[in-house]
């Protein structure tokens, strides 16, 4: 009986969090009310308060729940690169998938929300970055170190190489959409071109002889 009750409690909490996300993304923190969250979740306001003592706790819990979305990037990195025998091909695949994930509308809106509330919740913003995107960088750093040991890369500073790789991919599109909104104006072909160009530049700097584009 206790397990069944725990299961119902967990499902109700999940239901509220799933309803709260689009409300916070659309209205921001200040513009969101617990009444609206309750209405979208199809529960009473008392039920919302039973699971979350106030709007701040709801918001904090919601943002921390989303770190798993960014953490998926870390799993993607190891899945694509750990057994690579063709660095150019596999980095290209990673770049395309990485860009597609980061440029998805939900991730962009979430990123804007966390940035917008960073002054109000500095610890939350810092933790979201560390448990999400920072993990991806750490995974990429370790992967680049292994690729260097295998002779496919020449990265004296794998962490810097990881920063360079991500920067080459994200600097243009993410900066643009952070100011202009949306993201739909980047087509799949646009992102493909950015991925190819970023990988080419990266490999000219970091590929071991014979492992990069022709001529490196």
Q: CATH code at 15?
A: 1.10.10.60
Contact (CB, 8 A) for 27 and 17: no
| Statement to judge: residues 34 and 112 lie in one domain | no
Structure tokens at 103: 């440029």
The closest of 183, 143, 185 to 165, measured between CA atoms, is 143
Number of domains in the chain: 2
Domain ends where: 46, 64, 82? 64
Same domain, 54 and 73: no
Q: Are 201 and 110 in a shared domain?
A: yes
DSSP secondary structure of 44-82: -HHHHHHH-SSHHHHHHHHHHHTHHHHHHHHHHHHHHHT
Kindly report, residue by residue over 109-145, the tens digit of the pLDDT: 888 888 889 999 999 888 888 888 888 899 999 999 9
Q: Walk along the chain (216 residues) and give the pLDDT tens digit of each residue.
A: 555 565 788 899 999 999 999 999 899 999 999 999 999 999 999 999 999 999 999 999 998 888 776 667 778 888 889 889 999 999 999 999 889 888 888 888 888 888 889 999 999 888 888 888 888 899 999 999 999 999 999 999 999 999 999 999 999 998 888 877 655 578 889 999 999 999 999 999 999 987 655 445
**Among candidate residues 41, 64, 87, the one where a domain is terminated:** 64
Whether 138 is in a domain gets the answer yes
The secondary structure of 159-197 as a DSSP string is HHHHHHHHHHHHHHHHHHHHHH--STTS-HHHHHHHHHH
* 98 shares a domain with 199: yes
Please check whether residues 30 and 75 belong to one and the same domain.
no
CB 119 within 8 A of CB 190: no
Q: Is residue 212 part of a domain?
A: no
Which among 2, 177, 150 is positioned nearest to 82, based on CA atoms? 150
Q: Identify the pLDDT of residue 196.
A: 96
- 84 in any annotated domain: yes
Shared domain check, 148 and 194: yes
The CA R_g of the chain, rounded to the nearest whole Å, is: 21
Residue range(s) defining the domain that contains residue 174: 67-206
Does residue 115 share a domain with residue 169?
A: yes
| In a domain? residue 216 | no
**What token pair was written down for 95?**
């770049």
3-state class of 153 per DSSP?
strand
What is the C-alpha to C-alpha distance for residues 84 and 88, in angstroms, rounded to an integer?
9
For residue 132, give both structure tokens.
Answer: 């999400």
Of the candidates 32, 64, 96, which is a domain's last residue? 64
**Angstrom distance (rounded) from CA 95 to CA 87:** 12
Residue 82: name the closest of 145, 28, 24, 138 by CA: 145
Same domain, 143 and 194: yes
């Amino acid at each position: 009986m206790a397990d069944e009750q725990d299961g119902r409690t967990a499902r109700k909490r999940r239901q509220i969090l799933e309803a709260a996300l689009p409300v916070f993304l659309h209205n921001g923190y200040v513009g969101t009310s617990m009444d609206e969250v309750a209405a979208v979740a199809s529960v009473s306001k008392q039920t919302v308060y039973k699971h979350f003592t106030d709007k701040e706790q709801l918001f904090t819990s919601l943002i921390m729940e989303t770190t798993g979305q960014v953490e998926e990037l870390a799993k993607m990195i190891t899945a694509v690169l750990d057994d690579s025998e063709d660095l150019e091909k596999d980095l290209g695949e990673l770049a395309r998938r990485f860009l597609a994930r980061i440029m998805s509308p939900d991730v962009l809106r979430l990123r804007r929300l966390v940035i917008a509330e960073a002054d109000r919740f500095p610890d939350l913003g810092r933790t979201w970055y560390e448990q999400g995107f920072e993990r991806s960088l750490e995974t990429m750093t370790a992967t680049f170190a292994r690729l260097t040991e295998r002779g496919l890369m020449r990265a004296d500073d794998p962490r810097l190489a990881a920063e360079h790789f991500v920067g080459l991919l994200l600097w243009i599109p993410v900066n643009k959409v952070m100011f202009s909104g949306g993201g739909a104006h980047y087509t799949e072909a646009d992102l493909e071109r950015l991925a190819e160009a970023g990988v080419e530049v990266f490999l000219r700097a970091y590929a071991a002889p014979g492992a990069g584009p022709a001529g490196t």
